[in-house]
Amino acid sequence: MRDCLDFYIDGAWVQPTPGSRRLDVVNPATEQVSGQVALGTAGDAVRAVEAAARAFPAWAATPLAERLDILAKVTALYESRLDEIARAISLEMGAPLERLAKPAQARAGLGHFKTALSLAKTYAFERRQGTTLVVKEPVGVASLITPWNWPLNQIACKVAPALAAGCAMVLKPSEFAPYSARILAEIIHEAGVPAGVFNMVFGDGAEIGPALSSHPLVDMVSLTGSNAAGSSVMREGAATIKKVSLELGGKSANIICDSADFKKAMGHAVKAMMGNTGQSCNAPSRLFVPAHRLEEAENQAAELCARIRVGDPLDPETVMGPIANARQFDKVRRMIRIGMEEGARLVCGGPERPEGLDRGYFVRPTVFSRVTDAMTIMREEIFGPVLAMRGYTDLDDAVAGANDCVYGLSGYVYAGDLDEARAVARRLRTGMVHLNGALSHPGGPFGGIRQSGVGREWGEAGFEEFLESKTLFGSEAKEQADA
């Protein structure tokens, strides 16, 4: 049993305030309780915010070289505990240990620390424009609210740049994935991050989220989560005009051009959708294929899904683990049933557990075809291994269908050459596009438009979210500038 019953506030592990509750943490592969997590109150959130506010001035004034020395220690300690972090992620949210938790989930977090460290070493914190000096300064106290689907990836892409920029922060990780966050807090403590610069409280977002979003000492809120949570953050922060960065939902379209290597493109489409059991905000959940190849696409999708081994995350042969929690498990199966009721063709999968898996939140890799753009499974984010596919008459039809969506997080284009892929990508109303199977890169901006969010994470763009510009007019005498 693992327990996360205390919070990290002002450089120490402290007990929750009276009135806190406890939540069982359930292993999604077995449905057995693996530990407990304390759910803090608004009072705990306020304690953490106040600690961050006290620590901010000194940390912001700390020379960059000293901040980066500490960040380098955090990065090294993270790397030394990589296997432990991967095991924690696998236990708390079900990612297959050898095929996902180690090589992708845990390493993604490490990548963000390395990226922030590298960027901050060369970033121009002062830039001259004639006689004007533009200075980049830390935004202040940041509330960081993160989800359960890529726990350390989402935490690290906020914590790493915030530390490098000189911000103080309060992290509220998902209560469904507390173990990996606890390890990171231990790492930050061991690395010597000054007391109060990093604080962590667990809790129900509906209960403590408003305190973290509305407190007058909080300067910025960075949230990765649902659209409902994003709306709440914007409302709660509005009274004090906070800076807000939101990475929200997605319903990303994947367009396979007629010129593409079709077998290769379909292999990528299924693999990218079913990876992480479909629990990725940028998953390519809507697939557009040439209408005359729809039957071929259906056959290939069924064959590819049949090869996906679903099961125990600790089995090195497992490709797809369980849905991360019971609430999401119920939602995914309900959405599959809705797809069937609305008349989409079920190519493979379905709402039942895979054969031989009677316990655990396991779902079959599911593919629907002959869908319309009006169907629920083409419009609402499912966040599970469910692919919806339709044929298109020409690229204008495909692009129109792809853009017929309230979201705009990511997109995918597979074509015979990069020129064609780029041309189609430029027509998509989305924050990112993957060309011909390209993976995400920690140096590139990650984020979306419309109801997929505000702002960007990752790389220099993510780093700058934690900075503000101060303009010093006349910082250089005119005669000096003219010399």
- Say if residues 142 and 113 touch (Cβ distance below 8 Å): no
Nearest CA among 430, 391, 370, 400 for reference residue 258: 391
Nearest CA among 249, 269, 234 for reference residue 379: 249
Give the chain's length. 483
- Sheet of strand 132-138: strand arrangement: 126-129, 132-138, 467-472
Out of 50, 247, 381, 465, the active site residue is 247
* Long-range contacts (CB closer than 8 Å, 24 or more residues apart) made by 225-228: 225/145, 225/146, 225/147, 227/451
Q: Name the token pair of 304.
A: 């590819």
Torsion of CA 208, 211, 214, 215, to 10 degrees: -150
Sign of the dihedral defined by the CA atoms of residues 395, 401, 407, 411, in that order: negative
Question: Across the chain, which distance is largest between two alpha carbons, in Å?
Answer: 81
- Say if residues 389 and 301 touch (Cβ distance below 8 Å): yes
Tell me the Ramachandran region of residue 50: left when phi exceeds 0, alpha when psi lies from -120 to 50, beta otherwise.
alpha
Other C-beta atoms closer than 10 Å to the C-beta of 479 total 8
Tell me whether residue 247 is one of the annotated catalytic residues.
Answer: yes
Question: DSSP E strands: which ranges in 40-186?
Answer: 126-129, 132-138, 141-145, 168-172
Which 8-state DSSP code applies to residue 359?
Answer: S
Q: Name the token pair of 185.
A: 């807090």
Q: Tell me the catalytic residues.
A: 247
